[in-house]
Amino acid sequence: MLPLSGPALMAAGRRAFMIVWNEFPFALLFPVERRASWTVSLGLSRLAGGVEIPTTVLMAGSVVLTPPIVIVFPAGGRLLTEGRTAGAEKGKTMLTAGQILQLIRAGSCRTRKELIEFTGLSRSTITDRVDRLIDAGYIHESGVATSGGGRPPSVLDVDATRRLMLVADLGATHARVALTDLAAKPIAEEHTEMRIELGPDAVLTWVREAFQRTLDRAGRPAHEVCGIGLDVPGSVDHTTGRVIRSFLMPGWDDYPVSEAIGTAYEVPILVENDANAMALGEWWSFWRDSESMMLVKVSTGIGTGIIIDGRIYRGVEEAAGNIGHVRLRETDERVCTCGSRGCVASLASGYAVASDLGRTSSREVVRLVQAGDPEAIARVQEAGRTLGVVLATAVSLLNPGVLVLGGDMAGTREHYLTGVRESVYRRSLPYTTRNLEIVTSSLGERAGIVGMAVLVMEHVLSPSAVDAVLAARTRAVS
């Protein structure tokens, strides 16, 4: 109770003292006649009458009692006020510097004053948190806000330029790397045609060398890299950075991808499935208002990424979205890469369509369709309808707001998509699809790169990661 009632008691005491004190100088400065003593009411004349005080005592009291009114009462007021603030702060949730950063990132608070008002924390606590974030390069002062009077407050913003991220998108037949800032904006990129079946040693050697080339082109040192991300066309254990299984990646099973990349960098390294990364990239860039989104990648194989409430849904065994291996025809003679017959990937993937047309890759199919080849167009639409049968079940189960077609077959424009729409709308209940948008990827070949950059960004800027970095900096100084 003292921290709360103390300031009020101090104010009352100060006022009572002032009433008493005012009578001392009045008696000394404005004497009507010389007396040996004076009657002073001490502010209590209405209750107890006056008090007879000798003049010499009155003069001595004026000297002795001056310090309290000048020093003691103001100092006491400050101490009790600080006690009240500390007591009140103990009852509040003490947000860490990493949590303060989230408020700045979200735009909830733009200045120190707004942080104090929003959190209820003391000025000294907020100043400490903000200064540590600035010193570590997470935020900076980017201007001034409007002021209602006095000095305009500095605007706090994430410093996206001081830290860098390296990301890679590996497909069955291509590899792309990028250097981005901490806002996931690309600074430098490199792309090559490369088959993932070459194995982890050859592919990851190229990735490491390409990472260094992008840093060299940007003129940035490796120590500015704060996180690395890499996606692959297979299921991965994202906690260990190892490939679990992929039918398109012989020799990669249980391979420690993050360890192989991390030999040159002592930073967090994230490994993700390519369809998941593409889904996150599309959601972040265009569909953040949607609570649920699916992206189906149709290239050499078929994979699906699912976003629910802004997060990748991976499933219990990290295998969510493996619809390419749902078996549609038990008697079909075509053998899937998984060894089974009649999988949707063996019927509707880009590779399956290419094989039916006497071609070797899904990109050749895209070129045929874009050239207006009627046979290729018909086969692509048929493949879209076949995949749509499985997607209709997924739509009925998850009821997403958006279904995105990505991968090579998205390059056929509306032709593959028309087949998908036909089956989904015909096989799903109307009220589950009345607000469903079925569209092609807007990011195209860059969806995976963008998604991995977002994934790494969210990881390195998370409260736990930021607080860990700040704690390490503190230990290093001490």
* Encoded tokens for 333: 């003679």
Residue 89 clears pLDDT 80, i.e. is over it: no
Residue 313 clears pLDDT 90, i.e. is over it: yes
Q: How confident is the model at residue 94, as a pLDDT?
A: 84
Residue 55 clears pLDDT 80, i.e. is over it: no
Which pairs from 424-433 meet CB under 8 Å and 24+ separation? 424/388, 424/391, 424/392, 424/395, 426/392, 427/388, 427/389, 427/392, 427/393, 428/392, 428/395, 428/396, 429/396, 432/395, 432/396, 432/399, 433/395
Q: How confident is the model at residue 16, as a pLDDT?
A: 54
- Residue 204 CA: distances (Å) to CA of 136, 269, 274, 276, 310: 31, 13, 16, 20, 30
Average pLDDT value for residue range 396-425: 95
- Residue 147 CA: distances (Å) to CA of 22, 26, 33, 144: 40, 44, 57, 9
Q: How confident is the model at residue 37, as a pLDDT?
A: 53
Residue type for 291, please? Answer: E
CA gap 165, 45 in Å, rounded = 78
Q: Where are the domains of the chain?
A: 2-90, 97-158, 164-460
Residue type for 129, please? Answer: R
CA gap 68, 72 in Å, rounded = 4
Burial of 340 (0-12, 13-18, 19+ CB in 10 A): middle
Q: CATH number of the domain at 164-460, out of 3.40.50.720, 3.30.70.2750, 3.40.190.10, 3.30.420.40?
A: 3.30.420.40
Q: How confident is the model at residue 54, as a pLDDT?
A: 65
CA gap 182, 453 in Å, rounded = 8
Q: How confident is the model at residue 333, as a pLDDT?
A: 76
pLDDT band at 1 (very low <50, low <70, confident <90, very high): very low
Q: CATH number of the domain at 97-158, out of 3.40.50.10090, 1.10.10.10, 3.40.630.30, 3.40.50.150?
A: 1.10.10.10
Q: How confident is the model over 332-342, as pLDDT tens digits?
A: 778 887 878 88
Where b means 16+ CB within 10 Å and e means fewer, 64-73 reads eeeeeeeeeb
Whether the CB-CB separation of 323 and 391 falls below 8 Å is answered with yes
Q: How confident is the model over 335-393, as pLDDT tens digits?
A: 887 878 889 999 999 999 999 999 999 999 999 999 999 999 999 999 999 999 999 99
Q: What percent of the chain has pLDDT over 90?
A: 65
- As a whole number of Å, the CA-based R_g of the chain is 35
Q: How confident is the model over 146-172, as pLDDT tens digits?
A: 766 667 888 999 999 999 999 999 999
Q: How confident is the model over 194-225, as pLDDT tens digits?
A: 999 999 999 999 999 999 999 999 999 999 99
Q: How confident is the model over 2-39, as pLDDT tens digits?
A: 444 455 555 555 555 555 545 545 444 444 444 555 45
Whether the CB-CB separation of 384 and 196 falls below 8 Å is answered with no
Instruction: Give the 3-state secondary structure of residue 237.
Output: strand
Chain mean pLDDT for the chain: 85
* Encoded tokens for 230: 């890499």
Residue 46 clears pLDDT 80, i.e. is over it: no
Residue in 274, 301, 223, 275 with CA at minimum distance from that of residue 404: 275
* Encoded tokens for 290: 């949607």
Average pLDDT value for residue range 419-444: 95
Q: What is the pTM of this model?
A: 0.80
Q: How confident is the model at residue 19, as a pLDDT?
A: 53
Q: How confident is the model at residue 153, as a pLDDT?
A: 84
